[in-house]
Chains A and B, each alone.
Chain A
């Protein structure tokens, strides 16, 4: 009998014991879990998922337990679990049933050792094993291994069961429900709700864009608010709603454009509440779509005459502005195909509606409106279900009226005196928003009453305007010579400007009325003279004032010498002097305007010769030179720091100031001298002009008398004869005056003129005129014929006599002047040669030569001689303008050079001085050349031939150029055979080259004479380019243009020398007379729109550029003004 076998019973017992314990423990746990589950469910109303999950967990746990139990059994059998091993059992049994607790275990071990043959005393061992084994068999496993815990556990289980019973009974309904829930884990059970939300609206069907509302009612304990849940494809929206007074929960949905689901709900406030939310049933809103306008655009097309482009405006701007006559194209696209559509138009006043059908294509529709008055319109479209778009936008069309054109007359002034050329320079600034159609002068001629002619209105179109340019300056010379005006005739005129409005018809603006008068020659001369006398008087006053100032400064200087400081009164006196000089300077500036007026007057009426005009121009320049920077500086110095100056400084400043005022005095003196000389010449000019005029008029009168009819023209002829007689008498006086004015400059011609005034010819002419007058008075035309003709012949003789005297005067004075220049030339060359000799002598000297001092003395001598020459030149410059700035500059350089040379000599730097002297020689030679040119000029102008020759040559060259231009133009047209072209090109090249040569020659002659040779250089350059084009066989449009420009410049050069050109500078003076008489409502910012460009233009025009440059400048600024207008327009459009 084996111990181990005996022990197996015990082991089994032990296993039973453990299983019993496990059972009871498991039971009580299961009951507890059951109780918990029931309780939880009854409280929380777990979701099916939870419950279901619990089920699963329980099942899995059970399976796990079974598997674990199987595994434990196997392990037990294999004795892998120590608790159930034989040794453990042996130990426990030994402890429980044997006196020595280790007997059993020992027996087990011995038995094992027997099996291994390791025990040497097997018998003893077996005996012992037998003993133990039998003992073990005798024992009851149940007894030995008592299971006390089972009882305990059973009691616990019972207790728990009792408790569960009690609880279950207490909450039986809940537990019942809970048990049902657990039994049906997949079923959802609604917990009991405190209230119910009822949707009173239900499902909704509506048109897209319509609005709707929902109403909910709560049954039961109503919460204070509920949540409205709107669910669309895009997501959910929650809106909290409060109840109204009736206890309903309402919500206005507004426009709905898409399908929605909605419900109302209330969510539990606490997590333990059985319900998470109480919700109404979910309902839906089904939207039926309306057509909508997705894109809306308006294209405004202004009338064609405006030249404006189309303007596209998007539909988001409800105000559409456009010029009257513009078309408004409406284009829209819808989200649906459109079946039909129309624009509903109505006015503000009567709201009367009219429809404009739209052209429909697929989902697009188009329609057109014309802007005439203010208008509103809405767009309506319908889909094929005849459903229309909702709430169309109301668009407003605002018509913009085409503004009246505006006309600003910058020239002429209100009253214009016509000159000998019978032309009125017109400068207008015209503006319109879209251009012009016509500009004209409406005029009416008014003759004196005795003529008896009827007045009638005529118009003259001004062709030079551009119809497109909206703001332009119009320059136009209105030639009235065709009107056959007589002295005292008047022309009343105004300007009429039409815009290019083709919709409402061209609108017209009128300027104010202007008058042009044709004055008599005597009046004109008298007026000019009056101006000159005033000028001379003013100058004398200025001179007098300056003398007084100088005296005052001298007094102050004396005081300063004595006192070494100035009293307050003295300082005040100095201050006063400075102020007075300032005033004088201002007065001098004003005098320049006076000269300008004289020149303008004389130029306009061709009162003076070209030469005289040139002299007046130079006089004005001379007046400008009176105000020197040094003078200004010395005044500023005295004024600014008189108080801070020491006595010496003050003395120096006073001296400077005095010097400057003295120099101003000298300048003014010079001016007066030259002015007097010019006035003498002017008088002679006047005499000549008026005599010529008288002679012509008398001749014409004689003709008219010989052919005339007493009844028609008797009164007028008599009046003319009277006027001629009167003029002759005045001319006799003028001859005396002129002779007197000429006397200081040329004795002989002066005497001759005086004699002529008292000559028998004068008397005869006067007698014949009287005879004619008497005969006309009697109405005896035939009796007047002979005396009138004799008077005409006598007048012509007088005219010739005066012309001879004028010629003599001119040549005599010119010869005298030329001789003086000759002397200057000699002197200049004398100094130049002396200087050259000195240079030779100096360059050869060593630094230690005692003769260097002598050289310095010689240089000093030359400097003194040059000073002497300068003073001669200065005095000469008081009499003539021929002392040119070039001459002055050269002499100035020589003076500076001499000073430098002297310094070098003093520093014993002979070679350096010699180099400097070379420069002096150069400057002196330059001065000599300038003097020679001045002489030439005097001789030419003296004989009046040189200048005329120049003009004649220029005229001939211009003619040649014109010929070349015509042929080149033909060439450029390309209508000739190749061979002919080649030949013509060759010929034109030669002609152009020849012309250039002639021009070069002329330029060379003109250089230095100060008569505009420089301005011809530009023409030569352009000719050069034309010749190059011919050489390269590239005759293009550019070549033609170049040639045209050459011609223009030639004519211009001719004109600018011949006649005082229409000076923009002078015109600008009359701009102040402008008074606008445009229609009401014209833009008030008219001045601003003329803008900076126009002002800059005015400045540029005053810059003294030749006429073709002026034209270019004008074009340039016009284009600038144009671009600015465009900008303005764009801005307006943007505003729309």
Chain B
């Protein structure tokens, strides 16, 4: 029978389909009534929408989708009687629809019968008490209607019923947090973490979120200390996270020390901790942590096998080296707002100025990488060490040949594809830095010929495009750019860089006349020199472009780049003069911001800086830099007031 009816349906369907030419739109024939009702509701035709919902619900009383929609409609219109009827019907059909049961109670509450509602909800708890859901739902309801006493009773009853001392602790913690009762919230989170150690991250996040408010520190800390005896390991772990977050790094270190090292998890915890310290530039503490770890690996096996011991030793050594590496060049204290193609990998300047290099950490770093190469030859760390050493040689010491050797070793020995790719790309950078563009091109073509990974090929093609560009083959570079734009995914990190480059080339080269093209070639030459670390020469070329081709679209960019280099050379007044020349250009906002920043960050003349910053706000309201400038302005104004 069923088969017959199915066949009939298929036949009818086929027949019906045959009546309609395939390519003719169905003229709203398939218009879903439900969707129609939703649309009606959206445009305010509530009665019509309700009519359809009703019709649908009558046709299929079990249609939850329609039920929810009509429920929301009644709620929106405060039609409680209709809502009650609807819910009653619902619970008749779905006897265990707890939400509807509870909402029925809420309707009682809304009709000002508080006691009756509480009684009703209690009865529900008794009726459906075997499921935890009822407790969760009732918690929400009690919370919504501020029934604190009932909520406490509910929690107690729940914990008894399920013999779970942590039952509803997370929810209660969240409630207390919302009520700004930090101590109570912390206590609940501790309970939760203690009984659900695998969820300690959740508790930690909640405590950390709470600590976004300065006034919470004291109460959270006091509670953590007070509850230390409750579950020391858990509480110390939470406490250490808290201390780290509020930047009490040494105290956080102490908590970790107190937890000690006894097994693999502890080692991993320490590795993470040290790494986080390094990321936060707490280099001394990071060094201490890595050293502590190294000691631990040497002193005792702590139940680790040889493989794990080597891994932790390698990670500690590598981390140590990276930390020393960070010490070589003290990080910039501020990030400039006015940048040329900020964040574009294509125009990224890898080479660092040599004045600020610290020698001791440099030696330490090399020593550490050497020790990795010697002590852990058969692990994953030597290629990484080679790569890191190559980076230092390329970016800091500018030992291009040495760097090529290191990157070559990294590229050939690395099993990690990412590392191999990075090393190969760096090799191309180095060949460019050496001015050997044909070799760079050959190297990339060779790498491309053996690489089938799409993503990696994109990176290599991007680098190839860069080589063509800096080598002056703009047309070829543009071809590659176009091909990359077709094949790159929109969320690929290279996409926006490539798109920007395309715009840049089209604007300053493709659509221009010969003079524009000449100017652009000059600009490229300056960029190439920059890649080779020849900053003065580059500045000179930028100057010639801006002066020889003042009407070319790239002239202003060149002037800006020159000013930037002039700043790097410490000639601030010259830079200011150069910037003044392009303040009326399309990149006037950049020039003005940079002027302000020179006064602000380098000449430390806040008043003058403020003037320029205000100028940005007034004269370039459409510039995207206005927002960061406004922030900075607020900062220096506040600082001034404080001083």
A: which residues have CB within 8 A of B?
Answer: 629, 632-633, 635-637, 640-641, 644, 819, 822-823, 825-827, 829-834, 836-837, 844-851, 853, 861, 864-865, 868-869, 872, 906-909, 918-919, 921-922, 924-926, 928-929, 932, 1096, 1099-1100, 1103, 1105, 1109, 1112-1113, 1115-1116
Other-chain contact of A932, B21, B208, B241, B499 (Cβ < 8 Å): B499
Least CB distance from B419 to A in Å reads: 17
Known: A641-B77, A868-B624, A1100-B25. A633 touches B43 (CB 8 A): yes
Cβ of B279 and Cβ of A844 under 8 Å apart? yes
Other-chain contact of B246, A850, A864, A929 (Cβ < 8 Å): A850
Name A926's closest neighbour in chain B (CB-CB).
Answer: B490
Cβ of A849 and Cβ of B280 under 8 Å apart? yes
Least CB distance from A16 to B in Å reads: 97
Chain A residue contacts of B626, Cβ below 8 A: 868
Chain A residue contacts of B78, Cβ below 8 A: 641, 644
Least CB distance from B177 to A in Å reads: 12
Cα–Cα distance between A832 and B492 once the two chains are bound (Å): 11
Chain A residue contacts of B21, Cβ below 8 A: 1112, 1115-1116
* Most A Cβ at <10 Å: residue of B246, B502, B507: B507
Cα–Cα distance between A846 and B240 once the two chains are bound (Å): 13
Chain B residue contacts of A640, Cβ below 8 A: 46, 77
Chain B residue contacts of A865, Cβ below 8 A: 624, 627-628
Other-chain contact of B205, A908, A1099, A1113 (Cβ < 8 Å): A908
Cα–Cα distance between A635 and B500 once the two chains are bound (Å): 45
Least CB distance from B246 to A in Å reads: 7
Cβ of B204 and Cβ of A633 under 8 Å apart? no
Chain A residue contacts of B246, Cβ below 8 A: 850
Least CB distance from A898 to B in Å reads: 13
Least CB distance from A723 to B in Å reads: 46
- The interface bits of chain B over 489-527 (1 if a CB of A lies within 8 angstroms of the residue's CB, else 0) are 111010111011011000100000000000000000000
Other-chain contact of B27, A629, A830, A1100 (Cβ < 8 Å): A1100
Cα–Cα distance between A236 and B155 once the two chains are bound (Å): 99
Cα–Cα distance between A850 and B276 once the two chains are bound (Å): 10
Chain A residue contacts of B586, Cβ below 8 A: 819, 823
B4 at the interface (CB under 8 A from A): no
Chain B residue contacts of A846, Cβ below 8 A: 272, 276, 279
Known: A636-B44, A846-B276. A907 touches B209 (CB 8 A): yes
Least CB distance from B478 to A in Å reads: 14
19 contacting pairs across A/B (C-beta < 8 A) = A629-B44, A819-B586, A827-B624, A829-B496, A829-B500, A830-B624, A832-B496, A848-B204, A849-B276, A850-B244, A861-B628, A869-B624, A921-B490, A921-B491, A921-B493, A926-B490, A1109-B23, A1116-B20, A1116-B24
Cβ of B27 and Cβ of A1099 under 8 Å apart? yes
Chain A residue contacts of B27, Cβ below 8 A: 1096, 1099-1100, 1103
Chain B residue contacts of A861, Cβ below 8 A: 627-628, 631
Cα–Cα distance between A1096 and B201 once the two chains are bound (Å): 62
Cα–Cα distance between A919 and B490 once the two chains are bound (Å): 9
Cβ of A848 and Cβ of B208 under 8 Å apart? yes
Least CB distance from A656 to B in Å reads: 13
- The interface bits of chain B over 205-231 (1 if a CB of A lies within 8 angstroms of the residue's CB, else 0) are 100110010000000000000000000
Known: A847-B201, A868-B624, A928-B496. A908 touches B208 (CB 8 A): yes
Cβ of A831 and Cβ of B491 under 8 Å apart? no
Chain A residue contacts of B624, Cβ below 8 A: 827, 830-831, 865, 868-869
B342 at the interface (CB under 8 A from A): yes
Cβ of B242 and Cβ of A848 under 8 Å apart? yes
Least CB distance from B549 to A in Å reads: 19
- The interface bits of chain B over 234-266 (1 if a CB of A lies within 8 angstroms of the residue's CB, else 0) are 000000011011110000000000000000000
Cβ of B25 and Cβ of A632 under 8 Å apart? no
Chain B residue contacts of A637, Cβ below 8 A: 44
B353 at the interface (CB under 8 A from A): no
Least CB distance from B127 to A in Å reads: 34
Other-chain contact of B343, A833, A1105, A1113, A1116 (Cβ < 8 Å): A833
Cβ of A932 and Cβ of B622 under 8 Å apart? no
Name B281's closest neighbour in chain A (CB-CB).
Answer: A851
Chain A residue contacts of B245, Cβ below 8 A: 848-850
Cβ of A868 and Cβ of B280 under 8 Å apart? no
Other-chain contact of B279, A633, A849, A919, A1113 (Cβ < 8 Å): A849
Chain B residue contacts of A849, Cβ below 8 A: 244-245, 276, 279-280
Least CB distance from B203 to A in Å reads: 11
Least CB distance from A655 to B in Å reads: 18
Chain B residue contacts of A832, Cβ below 8 A: 496
With A830-B624, A849-B276 already in contact, 20 other A-B pairs whose C-beta atoms are closer than 8 Å: A632-B43, A636-B44, A640-B46, A641-B78, A822-B507, A823-B622, A825-B503, A836-B343, A850-B280, A861-B628, A868-B626, A908-B205, A918-B491, A921-B491, A929-B499, A1109-B24, A1112-B21, A1112-B23, A1115-B21, A1116-B24
Known: A836-B493, A865-B627, A932-B499. A907 touches B44 (CB 8 A): no
Cα–Cα distance between A633 and B497 once the two chains are bound (Å): 43
Name B249's closest neighbour in chain A (CB-CB).
Answer: A850
Least CB distance from B573 to A in Å reads: 29
Closest 7 CB pairs of A and B: A636-B44, A833-B343, A922-B491, A848-B241, A832-B496, A848-B245, A848-B244
B371 at the interface (CB under 8 A from A): no
Cβ of B503 and Cβ of A925 under 8 Å apart? no
Cβ of B42 and Cβ of A636 under 8 Å apart? no
The B251-306 residues at the A interface (CB cut-off 8 A) are 272, 276, 279-280
* Most B Cβ at <10 Å: residue of A861, A909, A1099: A861
B69 at the interface (CB under 8 A from A): no
B344 at the interface (CB under 8 A from A): yes
Name B252's closest neighbour in chain A (CB-CB).
Answer: A848
Cβ of B496 and Cβ of A872 under 8 Å apart? no
Cα–Cα distance between A932 and B485 once the two chains are bound (Å): 12
Cα–Cα distance between A832 and B24 once the two chains are bound (Å): 42
Name B205's closest neighbour in chain A (CB-CB).
Answer: A908
Cβ of B44 and Cβ of A633 under 8 Å apart? yes
Cα–Cα distance between A847 and B24 once the two chains are bound (Å): 56
Cα–Cα distance between A336 and B51 once the two chains are bound (Å): 71
Cα–Cα distance between A632 and B39 once the two chains are bound (Å): 12
Chain A residue contacts of B490, Cβ below 8 A: 921-922, 925-926, 929
The B18-37 residues at the A interface (CB cut-off 8 A) are 20-21, 23-25, 27
Cα–Cα distance between A907 and B210 once the two chains are bound (Å): 10
Chain B residue contacts of A851, Cβ below 8 A: 280
Cβ of A833 and Cβ of B344 under 8 Å apart? yes
Least CB distance from B481 to A in Å reads: 12
Other-chain contact of A909, B205, B276, B491, B497 (Cβ < 8 Å): B205
Name A862's closest neighbour in chain B (CB-CB).
Answer: B627
- The interface bits of chain B over 455-492 (1 if a CB of A lies within 8 angstroms of the residue's CB, else 0) are 00000000000000000000000000000000001110
Least CB distance from A889 to B in Å reads: 13
Cβ of B241 and Cβ of A847 under 8 Å apart? yes
The B174-219 residues at the A interface (CB cut-off 8 A) are 201, 204-205, 208-209, 212
Chain B residue contacts of A831, Cβ below 8 A: 624
Name A634's closest neighbour in chain B (CB-CB).
Answer: B44
Least CB distance from A367 to B in Å reads: 44
Chain A residue contacts of B208, Cβ below 8 A: 847-848, 908
Cβ of B499 and Cβ of A633 under 8 Å apart? no
Other-chain contact of B342, A834, A853, A908 (Cβ < 8 Å): A834
Chain B residue contacts of A922, Cβ below 8 A: 489-491
Cα–Cα distance between A872 and B20 once the two chains are bound (Å): 48
Cα–Cα distance between A647 and B175 once the two chains are bound (Å): 29
Chain A residue contacts of B344, Cβ below 8 A: 833
Cβ of A845 and Cβ of B496 under 8 Å apart? no
Chain B residue contacts of A836, Cβ below 8 A: 343, 493, 496
Least CB distance from A869 to B in Å reads: 7
Least CB distance from B232 to A in Å reads: 19
Name A928's closest neighbour in chain B (CB-CB).
Answer: B499
Chain B residue contacts of A636, Cβ below 8 A: 44, 46
Cα–Cα distance between A836 and B490 once the two chains are bound (Å): 12
